[in-house]
Chains A and B, each alone.
Chain A
Amino acid sequence: DQQVKQNSPSLSVQEGRISILNCDYTNSMFDYFLWYKKYPAEGPTFLISISSIKDKNEDGRFTVFLNKSAKHLSLHIVPSQPGDSAVYFCAASARGKLIFGQGTELSVKP
């Protein structure tokens, strides 16, 4: 049973526009959420995180929103750049255990 779901396998956006990546979770015990970015043939790298006591966290072009009642989080990238093209994984943590979603492949076209 997939506790963290990313229902869009891929997303294509134009350079300069906003990219919105979505993630849903089922376990209300999750208390910390993270986004990772992965390039081909490399390991995932940490991008941004949010605690369950917050509903928004911003870091430069990246903003993560958390809607606990809907068990939904999203990552906004604005403006999108070609170098942002990668696979993005959301992850949720409870008691130290970190569960990842299936990933969304973002393609930013010039």
Chain B
Amino acid sequence: DAGVIQSPRHEVTEMGQEVTLRCKPISGHNSLFWYRQTMMRGLELLIYFNNNVPIDDSGMPEDRFSAKMPNASFSTLKIQPSEPRDSAVYFCASRAGWAGELFFGEGSRLTVL
């Protein structure tokens, strides 16, 4: 079975450009999480959805970040405009139900010049 699929794996862009990261969760999973990995804060939770509804977006750094989940098989994380401090690896993860282990994608490495 396919795991969590993220795209792109790598993105290099210039400051001010819009960035869109995509995620396809594991089929049948109804919870989806977006994390950002940095050296200082480790895996930082940005937002999570349950049944396509955003439950907690308190970790979204600022209004430049937005996330959507239009259906059970797709989510996007958008940064507009991007800044160099947004450079990080962004992970998407999903799980079945309200509790238990998360299954992570391989991440999207973002570099903003």
Contacts and interface: CB of A to CB of B under 8 A. Distances in A.
A43 B105 contact: yes
Interface string A25-49: 0000000101010000111111001
Interface residues of B, number: 26
B99 interface: yes
B110 interface: no
A63 B56 CA distance: 31
B42 A43 contact: no
Interface in A45-97: 45-46, 49, 89, 91, 93, 96-97
B10 to A, nearest CB: 10
B104 A96 contact: no
B43 interface: yes
B41 A102 contact: yes
Contacts of B48: 96-98
B69 interface: no
Contacts of B44: 100
Interface of B: 4, 31, 33, 35, 40-45, 48, 50, 55-56, 91, 93, 98-107
Interface of A: 2, 6, 32, 34, 36, 41-46, 49, 89, 91, 93, 96-103
The 6 closest A-B pairs by CB, nearest first: A43-B104, A102-B42, A100-B43, A46-B101, A96-B98, A103-B42
